[in-house]
Amino acid sequence: MGVVNVTPDSFSDGGQWYGAEAAIGHGLELVDQGADIVDVGGESTRPGAQRIEAEEELRRVGPVVTELVKAGVPVSIDTMRARVASFALDAGARLVNDVSGGLADPDMPRLVAAAGASYVVMHWRGHSHDMYARATYADVVGEVREELTRRVDAAVAAGVDPGRIVIDPGLGFGKRPEHNWPLLARLPEVATLGGRTFPVLVAASRKGFLGGLLAGPDGTPRPIGGREEATVAITALAAAGGAWCVRVHQVPASSDAVRVAAAWRAAAARP
């Protein structure tokens, strides 16, 4: 899954693709580089980000989703708003990537159900402006699984086909670095909710916990531009660990890593 942030303030590439023409071109480039899905978002969820109005979010993503779909690109819409998701689905988007797991807009699960679309349900404890205030866990894997189970159950109760649900452990969202690593290391466990195994989306690309891991001798986190190799390592490990998809900003190296992981898993499965 390649990322197209149509925003001026996303943490990794804010402003680089802000504008329909640039964003559409970037989405097409990601597909050429090997992306299977292009995830289009118009609202930053970086730590501390403030929300924008729905009209502004639609203004940003509307033409991008429309033109990418016309070009035959499999598009997912990264939004917490049912209104924005509705526009994107009507335009031909195939998947709704809701970082709130349906908590930010209670109409979202019903909309997804009515559209028969696929739905990424992410673990989330609150909006970006104060999400770290909720980053307290005694057992992060157990608590994330429990809270994801409630969100999945709510989506299914609203009519969403469980076979179309993808879960996301929400790396970095209401989680400090020490919380992210157990979730990554125990993906098969995270994927199993209520006796059913769900596809898992891993979105670690360039995130702050990688910058902290790679900090310099003085403790300064590695800048965003220097986290790409670590992102590729996460891609390989997550894919080998059974992830359904990885969400990344730069596709070529991660695409290669997925192929390597697939070969590794195939060899491991042979007697």
As to burial, measured by CB atoms within 10 angstroms (0-12 exposed, 13-18 middle, 19+ buried), residue 84 is buried
Whole-number Å distance between alpha carbons of 28 and 78:
17
Q: Which pLDDT score is estimated for 256?
A: 96
Is 207 in the active site?
yes
Whole-number Å distance between alpha carbons of 209 and 17:
24
Q: Sign of the C-alpha dihedral, residues 130, 64, 119, 180?
A: negative
* Look-up of token digits 């016309």: 70
What's the CA angle centered on 263, arms 236 and 33, to 5 degrees?
60
Q: Which pLDDT score is estimated for 41?
A: 95
What are the phi and psi torsion angles at 99 (to 5°)? -70, -15
Whole-number Å distance between alpha carbons of 42 and 60:
6
Distance, C-alpha 163 to centroid of its chain: 18
Catalytic member of 207, 227, 259, 270: 207
Q: Which pLDDT score is estimated for 130?
A: 73
Pairing of strands 245-246, 201-202: parallel
**Mean pLDDT over the full length of the chain:** 93
Q: Is the pLDDT of residue 53 over 70?
A: yes
Chain segment 25-42, per-residue pLDDT in tens: 999 999 999 999 999 999
Are 242 and 198 in contact by the 8 Å Cβ rule? The answer is no
Chain segment 144-177, per-residue pLDDT in tens: 999 999 999 999 999 999 999 999 999 999 999 9
Strand partners, 96: 77, 119
Q: Which pLDDT score is estimated for 110?
A: 97
What CA–CA distances, in Å, run from 112 to 85, 87, 107, 148? 8, 12, 9, 17
Are 235 and 254 in contact by the 8 Å Cβ rule? The answer is yes
* pTM (predicted TM-score): 0.92
Q: Provide the pLDDT confidence category of residue 13 given band limits of 50, 70 and 90.
A: low
Catalytic member of 81, 206, 222, 247: 247
